[in-house]
């Protein structure tokens, strides 16, 4: 068996790997680049599938689907590849159901859920605290965050238990954790949560459909096109599908990459698959133990995504936006749905069964799961929900060479002890994938950023001349992991100065007392809160 | 390539795998059993090595070394294999250094460390709370423990922060965590910690050298003999060293096990390697996602163990026991040392660099690490410590097919969400290894218990007739994971009834006030505490 020789081999033909290949090619067209992919398609955690719809068939995303205007890396790529975005539809009543099966189903129209005044105030004080902490996080090197050790020694659950006042808010935050990470709040470090939010520009940016948020736009024709068009540019002859990498060895001269049937030699390797899959590759010599400990502490989330097509968007006719938020205690299998009507006008809803609900419902028969989904949709949107054209779902935990979605989180202690190994190359091996990004990590934009960063690292080794002085300086800067952490208040467990805590508490308690007797004050208070949130977001990086 | 055919293939020739093979052979001598081992030796996380000593050379354990009289599975095996134990030497002054490099080095003679009265009382109240919780844990199925979800949603660090009053005790408990798990308290679920302690009979059993505790006895000639003698009985022709398993597939008729050079067919497989290594094997069909999520949440600890031989046990002559306990803040690289004088009388000390200290010191040159070890030994035991015969160390994170030691812990959330996958067979694949034990899990005894349990599972499939009715019932019982949880007080976050908390707090505060002025009361109080601990241990399972 003679080994093929390449300059660079990329493991994984997702958005990160293909972005890396694309940049390498742009900088040095002579570089021989090979991309090895286990799946039989490109796109990684993005996949666009045709399903029956009102007007024949149409395309929907069963993986990553949203982008936002602050996600500069993916937005630039979309433009470069000649693709178009369209906004997430969010006009009309949103449904909100929390607090047990017998609790009242509420509707609301703003970006703030239909919470009771007390819970709304609880949310306000908690978001204020978390956003204050977020602003102190050093994403590049979270161990430099003030009080990092303490923030990383507790789970997100512990922080919520300590700082949320109401059971309703705690349920709400569990839902947020499931929706964003496919994980329960007990399963991740609080510092990781802060870092993730900081990399997105704030907590609300993770949750909303508003300008600059994570759910702002969708891509016409689907997100998998990004990877397909990148593969067009890189050349499909350089992409080998169905070629899972099982081993990587390296010596003073070469790196060797092995699949079930072939061996390839190259000068540099970029591994882009998520950490739990990167951990399954056999490395020779073995990776530094700190890198092994890193991947042992990065479990992946669990999401089942479903798309349901309808003859018409009956919810719009009934003045619903299609957005439903439902807590685990309600018996509803999904945590959130949105309108998913295609740019061609084919009516559809998209929903997510996530975290432990995905584990529970994923173990049931499809028919039982589907029945539970429709039963809840009928409850929230009316009997029309039962008359659909097609129901299609994807359980990412069962996808080969994925094993979970949307992202790998970090267990407590990881950021304190093993974080330097996240992006640090191991000899000829460089690490990409959205988990290694510093802007919008966990999102498609992060995947692009990480791929491009790894490509620059490789260029510095195999084609030094292709880099500008600024890029070389930047690489140097990244590898020494220097990034200015915002100055935080200097004392107190969670950097919330005592006087401000008291002020916030007094403010919210006073408001509760007022509101208990004057229901009409509520709407004014809500408007005021929305201004507060909006201002907070704008101010976040000015703090 | 023709595949060899066997009845049962065992992955890993450690204590668990060999115990399984031994039991299978005893029950049905006709069974064709093959054990595949990646390393070039048997013993897994036990290894006994000859090093220069006062009288020529002698044998010391560089992996698991201690057993205790309550560890029934390993004690029976020791007897069966004709081996002998001898007690851990612990007579004389013990050294205790915590609270920063400038703090006073104290000595003590009892099993309770030389803590200040205030810290001692803090320890008392905390141990009382933890032992109460331990007594409520259902080891077989920890999710049945009262308040399991909450206990599993926090790290051990969070519990300590919430319930320990003094910085000194917090430092002390960090040291305990490192010594026992090779991990920091931020890296594991508090419920996991409770389960681990409950499986050992209590927290103090993990820490002490007293009767019934984890560090009670050592094995004459070393612990690796257990595996070697088991291999003698199973037959060395059935053990293939240097044969790391890379893939396991299964269909309706066979399981196939693949190494770099061979493929074997069999009816059942027992995988005994630690979870992070089991996760690196490629399974076809892929394992259920719950099993994959389980191994993603079980990182392994980090320990560097050293043995130093001396011309004579100078510490005994100076009335030291050889036991030193030193906190991270003192600058001392190791957390604990013990006398390791061999049964042949060759003087030696054994020490552990563990957890994050192992990461830190493991990245240094051997000479620097050794120098730091001797510098601390000289400080604590006197200048004689510098004149040694031989210094030998083993960093388990750098050992091939180990990657860490002594045990894999469980991240928060695992016990709530994925625990049923820990022992549940996946088709023809059965799971052993000390992490799957229910008595002394994490110890050699747990490895034996787990191996024997997996062997019984396999017999139930391939040689039904070899089992007694009781064993079949027991297997059934284990698989439905029924085990009576002790009834706990019914309310309150951590099952400590308010009145008792207040009583304990009042008691300890009163004692502090008394002691602050009457130093001679201290010794009486200490004696009283020791009686309390002793009584607690005896009462633990009567609660």
pLDDT per residue of chain A (543 residues) written in tens, 0 to 9: 578 999 999 999 999 999 999 999 999 999 999 999 999 999 999 999 999 999 999 999 999 999 999 999 999 999 999 999 999 999 999 999 998 889 999 999 987 787 889 999 999 999 999 999 999 999 999 999 999 999 999 999 999 999 999 999 999 999 999 999 999 999 999 999 999 999 999 999 999 889 999 999 999 999 999 999 999 999 999 999 999 999 999 999 999 999 999 999 999 999 999 999 999 999 999 999 999 999 999 999 999 999 999 999 999 999 999 999 999 999 999 999 999 999 999 999 999 999 999 999 999 999 999 999 999 999 999 999 999 999 999 999 999 999 999 999 999 999 999 999 999 999 999 999 999 999 999 999 999 999 999 999 999 998 888 899 888 888 887 766 533 333 333 333 333 344 454 455 545 555 544 444 444 444 444 554 454 444 444 433 332
Q: Assess if residue B53 is contained within a domain.
A: yes
CA-nearest residue of chain A to B295? Answer: A296
Considering its fold, how many domains does chain A have in total? 2
In this structure, are A385 and A427 located in the same domain?
no
A435 annotated as belonging to a binding site for a ligand: yes
- pLDDT at res. A480: 62
- pLDDT at res. A414: 97
Q: In what order do the strands lie in the sheet with A239-240?
A: A239-240, A33-36, A8-11, A268-271, A429-431
Phi, psi of B398 (to 5 degrees): -100, 0
- Note down the domain range covering B13: 5-45+221-298+409-479
Q: What residues form DSSP beta bridges with B107?
A: B95
Using a CB-CB cut-off of 8 Å, the residues of chain A touching B161 are 150, 153
The answer to whether the CB atoms of B359 and A417 lie below 8 A apart is yes
Distance CA B257, CA B276 (A): 18
CATH code at position A350: 3.90.660.10
B89 annotated as belonging to a binding site for a ligand: no
Q: Assess if residue B281 is contained within a domain.
A: yes
Q: What residues form DSSP beta bridges with B48?
A: B61
Residue-wise DSSP of A453-466: HHHHHHHHHH-GGG
Who's near A539: CB < 8 A, 6+ residues apart?
A: none
In this structure, are A61 and A126 located in the same domain?
yes
Distance CA A286, CA B474 (A): 41
Torsion of CA B308, B359, B410, B65, to 10 degrees: -10
Torsion of CA B358, B360, B362, B365, to 10 degrees: -150
The answer to whether the CB atoms of B299 and A298 lie below 8 A apart is no
In this structure, are A194 and A129 located in the same domain?
yes
- pLDDT at res. A476: 80
Which residue is associated with the tokens 């205030």? B118
Asked if B182 reaches chain A (Cβ–Cβ under 8 Å), the answer is no
In this structure, are A192 and A243 located in the same domain?
no
Q: In what order do the strands lie in the sheet with B4-5?
A: B4-5, B263-266, B255-259, B245-250, B282-284
Q: Assess if residue A507 is contained within a domain.
A: no
Distance CA B437, CA A501 (A): 47
Strands (E), A147-254: 217-219, 239-240, 245-250
CATH code at position B281: 3.50.50.60
- pLDDT at res. A430: 98
Q: In what order do the strands lie in the sheet with B217-219?
A: B66-67, B217-219, B85-87
- Say if residue B406 is preceded by a cis peptide, omega within 30 of 0: yes
- pLDDT at res. A274: 97
What's the alpha-carbon Rg for chain A, to the nearest Å? 24
Contact assessment for residue A394 and residue A62, using Cβ atoms and an 8 Å cutoff: yes
Of B286, B299, B413, the CB nearest to A187: B413
pLDDT per residue over B52-66, tens digit each?
Answer: 999 999 999 999 999
To the nearest whole Å, the CA of A10 is away from the closest chain B CA by: 20
Segments of chain B with pLDDT less than 50: 482-499, 502, 506, 510, 512-525, 528, 531-543
In this structure, are A27 and A11 located in the same domain?
yes
In this structure, are B86 and B189 located in the same domain?
yes
- pLDDT at res. A176: 96
Of B184, B286, B398, the CB nearest to A413: B184
Q: Assess if residue B532 is contained within a domain.
A: no
The answer to whether the CB atoms of B153 and A362 lie below 8 A apart is no
In this structure, are A323 and A439 located in the same domain?
no
The answer to whether the CB atoms of A359 and B417 lie below 8 A apart is yes
Contact assessment for residue B152 and residue A186, using Cβ atoms and an 8 Å cutoff: yes
To the nearest whole Å, the CA of A489 is away from the closest chain B CA by: 21
DSSP-derived 3-state class of residue A397: helix
- pLDDT at res. A295: 97
Asked if A501 reaches chain B (Cβ–Cβ under 8 Å), the answer is no
Contact assessment for residue A64 and residue A440, using Cβ atoms and an 8 Å cutoff: no
Of B146, B125, B128, the C-alpha closest to B137 is B146
In this structure, are B118 and B249 located in the same domain?
no
The answer to whether the CB atoms of A280 and B282 lie below 8 A apart is yes
Phi-psi category of B440—alpha, beta or left, where left has phi over 0 and alpha has psi -120 to 50? Answer: left
Counting DSSP H helices and E strands in chain B, the numbers are 19, 22
- pLDDT at res. B478: 72
Distance CA B330, CA B324 (A): 12
DSSP-derived 3-state class of residue B34: strand
Residue B486 CB burial class (10 angstroms; 0-12, 13-18, ≥19): middle
Q: Assess if residue B236 is contained within a domain.
A: yes
Last residue of a domain, one of A341, A371, A398: A398
Of B418, B394, B421, the C-alpha closest to B405 is B394
Of A186, A359, A400, the CB nearest to B152: A186
Distance CA B420, CA B427 (A): 15
Q: Assess if residue B99 is contained within a domain.
A: yes
Contact assessment for residue A205 and residue A198, using Cβ atoms and an 8 Å cutoff: no
Vertex B331: Cα angle to B327 and B336 (nearest 5): 40
In this structure, are A58 and A183 located in the same domain?
yes
Q: Assess if residue A317 is contained within a domain.
A: yes
Q: Assess if residue A93 is contained within a domain.
A: yes
> Checking DSSP bridges between strand B33-36 and strand B239-240, what pairing results, if any?
parallel
Write down the ipTM of this complex: 0.89
Pull the structure tokens for residue A276: 């739990």
DSSP-derived 3-state class of residue B530: helix
Contact assessment for residue B177 and residue B183, using Cβ atoms and an 8 Å cutoff: yes
Q: Taken in order A215, A221, A223, A229, is the CA torsion positive or negative?
A: negative
Distance CA B421, CA B298 (A): 12
Element containing residue A359 per DSSP (H, E):
helix A356-362
Considering only residues 322 to 351 of chain B, which have any Cβ-Cβ distance to chain A shorter than 8 Å?
none
B435 annotated as belonging to a binding site for a ligand: yes
End-to-end CA distance of chain A: 61
Count of CB atoms within 10 A of residue B149's CB?
16
- pLDDT at res. A128: 96
Considering only residues 393 to 452 of chain A, which have any Cβ-Cβ distance to chain B shorter than 8 Å?
397-398, 400, 403-404, 411-413, 416-417
- pLDDT at res. A115: 85
In this structure, are B192 and B94 located in the same domain?
yes
In this structure, are A343 and A267 located in the same domain?
no
Of A291, A268, A296, the C-alpha closest to A454 is A268
Distance CA A252, CA A246 (A): 21
Pull the structure tokens for residue A65: 């689907």
In this structure, are B22 and B40 located in the same domain?
yes
Last residue of a domain, one of B423, B450, B479: B479
Biggest CA–CA distance in chain B, Å, is 82
The answer to whether the CB atoms of B187 and A246 lie below 8 A apart is no
Contact assessment for residue B443 and residue B214, using Cβ atoms and an 8 Å cutoff: yes
The answer to whether the CB atoms of A356 and B280 lie below 8 A apart is no
Element containing residue B369 per DSSP (H, E):
helix B366-381
Asked if B249 reaches chain A (Cβ–Cβ under 8 Å), the answer is no
pLDDT per residue over A63-80, tens digit each?
Answer: 999 999 999 999 999 999
CA-nearest residue of chain A to B281? Answer: A280
Last residue of a domain, one of A360, A378, A398: A398
End-to-end CA distance of chain B: 61
């Amino acid at each position: 068996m003679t080994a093929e020789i390449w300059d660079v081999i990329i493991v994984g033909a997702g958005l990160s790997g293909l972005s890396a290949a694309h940049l390498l090619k742009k900088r040095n067209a002579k570089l021989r680049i090979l991309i090895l992919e286990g799946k039989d398609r490109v796109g990684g955690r993005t996949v666009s599938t045709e399903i029956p719809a009102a007007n024949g068939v149409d395309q929907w995303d069963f993986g990553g689907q949203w982008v936002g205007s602050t996600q500069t890396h993916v937005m630039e790529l979309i433009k470069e590849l000649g693709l178009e975005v369209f906004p997430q539809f969010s006009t009309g009543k949103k449904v909100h159901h929390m607090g047990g099966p017998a609790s009242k189903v509420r509707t609301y129209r703003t970006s703030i859920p239909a919470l009771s005044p007390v819970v709304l105030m609880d949310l306000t004080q908690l978001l204020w605290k978390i956003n204050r902490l977020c602003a102190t996080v050093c994403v590049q090197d979270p161990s430099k965050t003030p009080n990092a050790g303490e923030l990383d020694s507790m789970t997100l659950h512990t922080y919520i238990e300590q700082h949320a006042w109401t059971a309703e808010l705690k349920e709400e935050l569990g839902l947020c954790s499931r929706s964003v990470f496919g994980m329960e709040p007990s399963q991740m470090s609080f510092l990781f949560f802060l870092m993730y939010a900081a990399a997105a520009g704030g907590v609300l940016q993770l949750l909303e459909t508003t300008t600059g948020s994570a759910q702002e736009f969708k891509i016409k024709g689907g997100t998998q096109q990004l990877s397909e068009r990148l593969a067009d540019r890189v050349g499909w002859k350089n992409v080998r599908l169905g070629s899972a990498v099982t081993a990587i060895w390296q010596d003073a001269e070469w790196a060797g990459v092995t699949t079930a049937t072939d061996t390839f030699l190259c000068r540099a390797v970029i591994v882009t698959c998520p950490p739990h899959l990167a951990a399954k590759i056999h490395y020779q010599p073995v990776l530094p133990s700190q890198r092994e400990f890193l991947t042992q502490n990065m479990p992946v989330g669990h999401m089942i995504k479903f798309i349901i097509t309808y003859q018409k968007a009956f919810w719009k006719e009934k003045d619903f936006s299609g957005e439903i938020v439902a807590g685990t205690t309600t018996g509803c299998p999904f945590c959130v749905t949105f309108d998913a009507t295609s740019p061609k006008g084919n009516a559809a809803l998209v929903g997510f069964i996530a975290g432990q609900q995905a584990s529970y419902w994923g173990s049931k028969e499809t028919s039982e799961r589907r029945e539970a989904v429709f039963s809840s949709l009928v409850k929230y949107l009316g009997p029309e929900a039962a008359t659909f054209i097609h129901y299609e779902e994807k359980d990412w935990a069962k996808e080969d060479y994925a094993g979970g979605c949307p992202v790998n989180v970090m267990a407590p202690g990881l950021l304190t002890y093993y974080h330097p190994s996240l992006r640090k190359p191991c000899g000829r091996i460089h690490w990409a994938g959205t988990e290694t990004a510093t802007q919008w990590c966990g999102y498609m934009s992060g995947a692009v950023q990480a791929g491009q960063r790894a490509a620059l690292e490789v260029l510095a080794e195999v084609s030094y001349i292709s880099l500008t002085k600024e890029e070389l300086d930047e690489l140097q800067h990244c590898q020494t992991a220097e990034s200015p952490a915002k100055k935080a208040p200097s004392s107190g467990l969670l950097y919330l100065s005592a006087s401000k805590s008291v002020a916030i508490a007094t403010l919210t308690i006073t408001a509760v007392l007022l509101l208990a007797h004057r229901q009409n004050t509520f709407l004014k208070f809500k408007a005021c809160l929305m201004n507060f949130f909006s201002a907070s977001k704008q101010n976040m990086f000015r703090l």
